[in-house]
Amino acid sequence: MAAITDSRRFAFLRRSSAKTKAAGSDERKLPVGRQILLQVLCIFIAVTVLFPIVWIFSMSIDPRNIARPDALNLIPPGASFDAYAKVLNRPTSNDISFLGLAKNSLLIALSSSAIAVALGVTAAYAFSRLRFRGRGALMIAVLGVLMLPGVATLVPLFVFLNQFKIEFGDLSFNLRASLIGVTLAVISGQLPFAIWNLKGYLDTIPKDLEEAATVDGASKNQVFLKIILPLAIPAVAVTGFLGFLGGWTEYLTTYYFIGANPQNWTLAIALNSMVGDFARTTTWSEFAAFAIVFALPVSLVFFFFQRYLVGGLAVGGVKG
């Protein structure tokens, strides 16, 4: 009984949905009522997604430079970019500019991702293409480390790197308390991921090309350098970018190893010093502007290349 009344009341729905199915994958028009209903749903989801982003943006252009916002304003009265000028000049109470912080972050991110990818791609080639004794055990070792969170190797790395005192000309520093020490720790987290992600990609490259080259007398080294490496460049770029992203926002190791020296601070440490209880002197406009400038470069790259990057994320992209 209910079914009959239902089908009568929503006759327009049933008819058109039957037509849609019959037409298969053709793009067909939804009935207006349903289209509106689904659009409302989509807009609601869009609002929830955009809410924090719009809020942080409107806060960043609040000109009143009040310590805390007092209401929800899309565009606050008299909006200006003063907060951006302030944070680019001197974001924290320490004597270091945004560029100084960004330089330290960049150093960690670039060197760690470049080294991890360079070391990772040769190992990935061996795991993907060569047969040798102990292959299974070594792969499990890599996978086991990949599973560990960054915090699990933090303490021994601190003690281990703390033993090295570097003397280089006039320079004399403790390896642990330097950006190089942090970079080493970050590489330790990135290398297993680089190996695993690149191996996954190399496995998908068909073997025909290599076989043809081998028949023509190419050695394994030639196959690697002339065939595999050029084909793997997209995956190398993706892995490198995901590693860069991890290094760019690295916090745990950096804060623990060099948090005491503000000249070595990175963007991530500065950001945390601008939030909550630590931030009695920072206005929220400045925090918001800083967060946006910090996130924008990597977020834009990520957004435009998401098609290639999302797959890598699903393997365990960024270690927390």
Q: Can residue 252 be called a binding residue for another protein (CB under 8 A)?
A: yes
Count of residues of this chain found to bind another protein when the rule CB under 8 A is applied: 106
Phi, psi (rounded to 5 degrees) for 173: -150, 160
What is the distance between the alpha carbons of residues 51 and 47, in angstroms, rounded to a whole number? 6
Report yes or no: 232 and 202 within 8 Å, Cβ to Cβ. yes
What is the distance between the alpha carbons of residues 215 and 228, in angstroms, rounded to a whole number? 16
Q: Can residue 11 be called a binding residue for another protein (CB under 8 A)?
A: no
What is the distance between the alpha carbons of residues 110 and 71, in angstroms, rounded to a whole number? 40
Q: Can residue 130 be called a binding residue for another protein (CB under 8 A)?
A: yes
Q: Can residue 211 be called a binding residue for another protein (CB under 8 A)?
A: yes
Q: Tokens standing for 228?
A: 């595999």
Nearer to another protein (CB atom), residue 141 or residue 233: 141
Part in contact with another protein (CB under 8 A); list of ranges 19-27, 75-83, 96-104, 235-243: 19-27
Q: Can residue 38 be called a binding residue for another protein (CB under 8 A)?
A: yes
Part in contact with another protein (CB under 8 A); list of ranges 39-47, 80-88, 103-111, 234-242: 39-47
Nearer to another protein (CB atom), residue 100 or residue 192: 192
Query: Does residue 217 come out as left (phi exceeding 0), alpha (psi in the -120 to 50 range) or beta?
Result: left
Single residue of 2, 71, 137, 171 touching another protein by CB under 8 A:
71
Q: Can residue 222 be called a binding residue for another protein (CB under 8 A)?
A: no
What is the distance between the alpha carbons of residues 253 and 260, in angstroms, rounded to a whole number? 12
Q: Can residue 205 be called a binding residue for another protein (CB under 8 A)?
A: no
Single residue of 79, 88, 106, 138 touching another protein by CB under 8 A:
138
Report yes or no: 139 and 196 within 8 Å, Cβ to Cβ. no
Q: Which of residues 41-70 bind another protein (CB under 8 A)?
A: 41-42, 45-46, 48-53, 55-56, 68-70
Least separation, in Å, of the C-beta of 243 and another protein? 13
- Classify each residue of 230-260 as buried b or exposed e, where b means 16 or more C-beta atoms within 10 Å of its C-beta: eebeebbebbbbbbbbbbbbbbbbbbbbbbe
What is the distance between the alpha carbons of residues 43 and 245, in angstroms, rounded to a whole number? 30
Q: Which of residues 169-188 bind another protein (CB under 8 A)?
A: 184-185, 187-188
